[in-house]
Amino acid sequence: MKRRLVSLLAIATMTATMFAACGSSDTAATDTAAPADDTATVEAPAEETAELPEDTGKVLNIQCWNDEFQSRLKSHYPGYEEVDATHGKIGDVDVVWTITPSTDNAYQNNLDEALLAQESAAADDKVDLFLVEADYALKYVDTDYAMALSDLGITDADLADQYTYTQSIVTDSNGKLKGSSWQACSAGLIYNREAAKEVLGTDDPDEVQAAVANWDKYNETAAKVAEAGYTMCSANDTFRVYSNNVSGKWVQDGKVVIDKNIEKWIDDSKALVDSKAEDTDDLWGDDWAKGKNPEGKVFCYFGPAWFFNFCLNADDDASIASKGGWGYCVGPQSYYWGGTWICAATGTDNANLVKDIILTMTTDKAVLKDIATQDQDCVNSKSVLADLAGSDDGNIALLGGQNPYKQLADGAEKVDLSNISAYDQGCNEEIQKAAKNYFQGNATKDEALDMFKKAIVEKYPELTAD
Amino acid sequence: MNKKSKVVSYNKWGYIFLIPFVVIFLIFQMIPLVSTIYNSFFENYRSGLTQIGPNFIGLQNYATIITNGDLPTYFVNTMIMWIMGFIPQIVLSLLLGAWFTDPSLRLKCQTFFKTVIYLPNLIMASAFAMLFFTLFSDSGPINSMLIQMGVFKEAYKFMGNEWSVRTLIATMNCLMWFGNTTILLMAGMLGIDPSLFEAAQVDGATSTQIFYRITLPLLKPILIFVMITSLIGGLQMFDVPQILTNGTGDPMRSSMTLIMYLNKHLFSKNYGLAGALSVFLFVITGILSLIVFKFTNSEKVK
């Protein structure tokens, strides 16, 4: 029994290790390799905001789920010195990182506890900054635990160059902006150039785009791909494309609603899985990752810019990425995936520093351009992206020298997030799990949907499903 | 009136020596038990960062669990996987136990083998499940081997079939616990008076007869103990199926156990519903243990 308890504790660590390659957690490897020079000088914001009290905190507590933001801060924030893996220094303020992997909801659970205890916590223990992902941003943004950026003295003018969608995600129900991101995660279709030549006779991004320009064409191409002995991708890869283009929220008036487009995803995917054009591998698993090497015979992945750098194993000599064998096009529909937003926690005793970090990391064009060129990220600045799209700085080796920034920027303009809800993470996760049963023939579509509803009500007892 | 007994009573020492146990029992067993039952009468969960409740709702949590009809399904799943793992485990353990305790066999390297069979139990269940997950994944080594040997044309989806998932879980449980059971049974077998075996041998009994007529009947108390502990352990099955199926119990929750179901409610810190479910589990465990105990004890002398 006791051993069981111990193993329970170990589960988080175990799975975290397994999924270490996923999401955006491999940044350290690439980033530490890059020299952490801070040649780009950053001028401190000139305008003074009288309302902010002077910083009294000696400790800056940051809550996050991987080392992505840490490495960004290390390489691009002036004055940040690394002490060890979870500690740093900015001037005489100690930076303490609390990194909890997001697997099994551990990050959110941990953050919940910290925020709920925020008022009673000692000054040095108060959370100052925390990071959120799009799927659950509203859960935090729509509470008083996150500070409005206007209260920090950050003005709309400061954020004017950002993409609208990156702001609407973190706008609460009173219209207050509560977070800011350096990333614009508009996403597209990343295809295997070899496979494209073999199946479509070309690896030119425009021509491949024409072959997958809408779902009908995508399905036609998938059939050809399957005939040539490849699989298109996993059904879970296309999920985000459909789910970002729904006509309503997951939860309406306390009731879970399955959108037509989600049903379309289930129907389309079932047909493709049955014809062996797609498989049902879970994202981030070994089976799913096999396509990163040529012998995996996978035609494409669906992903945003952070996918290039973190997820395609470019540092592995056997991978397609190391030979520059990928190409990028927009795919059937515009969508976005992921993204990291920085929020200031209410009760922070380092308000000025927090403000400066947010401004520097998410609005300073020199810093943003640095991030884009060093880490192949798609940054949250229209002018920087326009600049990159027009110059060789935007060419990416693992895409065979292709410059994807024009498409990424166009995609970011088109992202519409009016249908996001605080329940998205749970709903997205559960619908994929339930649909897999249908894809694999273990249940009918209705049984799978019932399973989904059951899981949602378990997860969110306040919702109804029928 | 003032007659004092001259007999010194040592009774109080007995009570004093019991204090540590009673204190630990109260703190770590009694209080959690009572608070679980108390919690089960409340609506009490977290929605995002908002706490709902606790509001007293009487027996509604119990009603919810009974009416949604999931409990029997998960109970059956749990029992199927437990039985699938327990039968081979007890057979294997009896066999090994009999061999190890049989002096006439003169087995060499006994200590080595005893250590080896116990080793799987030392691995964390989660690590073990991870290992199996990787071994049996679609592009994993088992599939590649089977394809190369020509058994399958294309990868068999071990995780996509109800019975293959259940079999994997049962196999893991069997592998993890047969060493432990063997040790227990060996202790029981070594406690049997050797003169009984000798007498039987002198009377010309075969080793099969000795095993069935002497070893097994005299081993009954230990067997009951093994049965009950394994049953309780089986009802609490969690980590292996949780990790192997990534918490889903798929396909279609056919390998979801009772504790995995309980764990689902802990996602939203739903203490009310989880409490009610725990009380059900407590009752089920009690009933099953009683049945096993009565059943194995009934045919005492015929």
Phi, psi of A182 (to 5 degrees): -90, -5
Rounded alpha-carbon distances, angstroms, from residue B60 to A10, A168, A255, A277, B67: 35, 40, 21, 48, 10
> Quick check: B53 contacting A, CB < 8 Å?
no
Report which of A123, A83, A98, A411 is spatially closest to residue A241, judged by C-alpha positions. A411
Mutant choice from B28, B73, B124 vs A, greatest count of A C-beta within 10 A = B124
Q: Check whether A53 has a pLDDT greater than 90.
A: no
Contact B267 A14 (CB under 8 A): no
- Would the CB atoms of A18 and B162 count as touching at under 8 Å? no
Collect all residues with Cβ–Cβ distance below 8 Å to B60 and sequence separation of at least 6.
Answer: B43
Q: State residue B274's pLDDT score.
A: 93
Q: Is the pLDDT of residue A31 over 70?
A: no
Output the pLDDT for position A376.
84
Q: Average pLDDT for residues B105-131, to the nearest whole number?
A: 89
User: In this predicted structure, what is the pLDDT of residue B18?
Assistant: 93
pLDDT of residue B5: 64
Residue A302 CA to residue A77 CA, distance in Å, equals 31
Compute how many other C-beta atoms are within 10 angstroms of the C-beta atom of residue B250: 24
Chain A residues inside the 8 Å CB shell of B253: 451
Q: CB B49 to CB A143 under 8 A?
A: yes
**pLDDT confidence of residue A185:** 87
- Beta strands (DSSP E) in A216-314 are 251-252, 255-256, 300-304
What's the pLDDT score for residue A466? 78
Q: Cβ contact (<8 Å) for A18 and B48?
A: no
pTM: 0.83
**A11 vs A401, residue with greater confidence:** A401
Q: Given an 8 Å threshold on Cβ–Cβ distance, is B130 in contact with A14?
A: yes
Q: What is the 3-state secondary structure (H, E, C) of A17-30?
A: HHHHHCCCCCHHHH
**A100: Cα separation from own chain's centroid:** 16
What is the helix (H) or strand (E) element at residue A140, kind and residue range?
Answer: helix A137-141
Give the CA dihedral B19, B23, B26, B32, nearest 10 degrees. -160
pLDDT band at B221 (very low <50, low <70, confident <90, very high): confident
Q: Does position A40 have pLDDT exceeding 50, yes or no?
A: no
Q: Average pLDDT of B238-249? A: 91
Structure-block tokens of residue A317 = 């000599």
Give the Cα-Cα-Cα angle A155, A159, A163 (nearest 5 degrees): 145
Q: What is the mean pLDDT of residues A22-34?
A: 39
How is A298-342 classified by DSSP, letter by letter? B-EEEEEHHHHHHHS-TTSTTSTGGGT-EEEE--SS-EE---EEE
The values of phi and psi at residue A301, to 5°, are -125, 155
Given a cut of 60, is residue A415 above it in pLDDT?
yes
Q: Does A9 touch chain B (CB under 8 A)?
A: no
**Contact yes or no for A264/A272 (Cβ under 8 A):** no
**Which of A11, A274, A445 to mutate to test binding with chain B, by most B CBs within 10 Å of its CB?**
A11
A401 min Cα distance to partner chain B (Å): 31
- Higher pLDDT, residue A10 or A424: A424
Whether B238 sits inside 8 A of A290 (CB atoms) is no
pLDDT tops 60 at residue A21: no
Q: Please list every residue in chain A whose beta carbon sits closer than 8 Å to the beta carbon of residue B125.
A: 3-4, 7
Does any CB of chain B come closer than 8 Å to the CB of residue A293?
no
For an interface test with A, the pick among B162, B176, B239, B285 (most A C-beta atoms closer than 10 Å) comes out as B239
Q: What is the pLDDT of residues A113-152, one digit of tens each?
A: 999 999 898 888 999 999 999 889 999 999 999 999 999 9
**Length reported for chain B:** 302
Average pLDDT estimate for A24-35: 39
CA–CA gap between residue A354 and residue A264 (Å, rounded): 43
Q: Give the model's pLDDT for residue A34.
A: 40
**pLDDT score of B300:** 55
In the prediction, which pLDDT does B298 show?
62
Are A461 and B273 a contacting pair at CB < 8 A? yes
For B87, phi then psi, to 5°, come to -60, -55
Q: Is B265 on the interface with A (CB under 8 A)?
A: yes
Distance between alpha carbon A452 and the CA centroid of its chain, in Å?
Answer: 24
DSSP 8-state code for residue A396:
B
Q: Judge whether residue A36 has pLDDT over 80.
A: no
Q: Which of B162, B158, B164, B129 is nearest to B144 (CA)?
A: B158
> What mean pLDDT do residues A204-226 have?
93
ipTM of the complex: 0.85
State in words which class domain B70-265 has: mainly alpha
At residue A123, the pLDDT reads: 85
Q: What is the pLDDT of residue B4?
A: 62
The answer to whether A298 and B139 are in contact (CB under 8 A) is no
Q: Strands (DSSP E) along A55-204, which ranges? A: 59-64, 80-84, 87-90, 93-99, 127-133, 186-192
Summarised one tens digit per residue, pLDDT across range B154-202 is 889 899 899 999 999 999 999 999 999 999 999 999 999 989 988 998 9
Judging contacts by C-beta atoms under 8 Å, the chain B residues touching residue A448 are: 252
What's the confidence (pLDDT) of residue A301?
Answer: 94
**Which two structure tokens, joined as six digits, stand for A346?**
């209410």
Work out the average pLDDT over A159-184.
91
**Kind and range of the H or E run holding B52:** strand B50-56
Answer yes or no: do A451 and B253 touch at CB < 8 A: yes
Q: Any idea where the domains of chain B sit in the sequence?
A: 33-68+269-285, 70-265
Mean pLDDT of A15-22: 44
Does residue B52 carry a pLDDT above 90?
no
Please give the pLDDT value at position A28.
38
Least confident among A15-29, A324-338, B142-156:
A15-29
pLDDT given at position A306: 87
Cβ distance of B242 and A4 shorter than 8 Å: no
Residues 390-449 of A with CB under 8 A from B: 422, 433, 436-437, 440, 442-443, 447-448
List phi, psi (to 5°) of B219.
-85, -5
- pLDDT, tens digit, for every residue of B199-219? 998 999 998 898 899 889 999
All structural domains of chain A, each given as residue ranges with its CATH number in brackets, are 59-183+338-380 (3.40.190.10), 186-336+397-459 (3.40.190.10)
Residues 91-130 of chain A with CB under 8 A from chain B are 104-105, 112, 115-116
Is the CB of residue B206 less than 8 Å away from at least one CB of chain A? no
In chain B, residues with a C-beta closer than 8 Å to the C-beta of A142 are 48
- pLDDT above 80 (res A49): no
DSSP one-letter code for B248: S
In eight-state DSSP terms, residue A399 is G
Higher-scoring residue by pLDDT: B214, B302: B214
Nearest CA to CA, how far is B270 from chain A (Å)?
8
pLDDT at residue B299 in the model = 58
Sequence letter at residue A462: E
- Among A409, A153, A112, A247, which residue's Cα sits nearest to residue B267? A112
- Nearest of A134, A159, A163, A137 to residue A414 by alpha carbon: A163
Nearest CA in chain A to B49: A112
Q: Give the pLDDT score at B302.
A: 44
Region B93-106 average pLDDT: 88
A243-249 LR contacts (CB < 8 Å, sep 24+):
A243/A428, A244/A333, A244/A334, A244/A335, A244/A336, A244/A337, A244/A415, A244/A416, A245/A333, A245/A334, A245/A335, A245/A416, A246/A419, A247/A419, A248/A419, A249/A419, A249/A420, A249/A421
Chain B closest CA to A265's CA: distance in Å? 19
Site of tokens 């190890």: B100
Q: Give dist(CA B302, CA B298) in Å, integer.
A: 10
Q: Which helix (H) or strand (E) holds B42?
A: strand B42-47
Instruction: Report percent pLDDT > 90 for chain A.
Output: 54
Residue B296 pLDDT exceeds 80: no
For A295, nearest residue in chain B (alpha carbons): B139
Cα dihedral sign, B139-B143-B144-B147: negative
DSSP A21-76: GSTT-THHHHHHHS-----S--PPP-S--TTSPPP--SEEEEEESSSHHHHHHHHH
